[in-house]
Amino acid sequence: NAGVTQTPKFQVLKTGQSMTLQCAQDMNHNSMYWYRQDPGMGLRLIYYSASEGTTDKGEVPNGYNVSRLNKREFSLRLESAAPSQTSVYFCASTGTSDSYEQYFGPGTRLTVT
């Protein structure tokens, strides 16, 4: 049982390049989330998907797009990377509406130069 997996683990981009971060969970969870974590800022929600077929903006959605491909997979796309998007990105999932435990993937460390 892998839980939540993310690819890639590390990535370096040049300003203006695009990329997609992949996330998958095998726990049959309905809700999935993308966060970014910067020093001293805590985790900030970028986008979330309460269920398959729905996505909503979180606290810091600008510069990102998401796709809930199916129940298992939730991807995050940077269309034109900027240095301000240098961060650690975590994907998370949770099972039911009354379960607050979020299970996190191992993270993607992204540097934009």
Nearer to another protein, 58 or 63 (CB): 58
Residue ranges binding another protein (CB under 8 A): 31, 35, 40-45, 48, 90, 94, 97-102, 104-107
The smaller minimum CB distance to another protein, of residues 72 and 104, is found at 104
Supply the minimum distance, in Å, between the C-beta of residue 94 and another protein: 5
Half-sphere exposure of 26 (CA within 13 A, CB side): 5
Q: Is 30 helix (H, G, I), strand (E, B) or coil?
A: coil
CB 4 within 8 A of CB 105: yes
Cis amide leading into 8 (omega within 30) = yes
Q: How far is the CB of 74 from another protein (least distance, A)?
A: 15
**Rounded least distance, CB 77 to another protein, Å:** 21
- Please name the residue that has the structure tokens 């039911």: 96
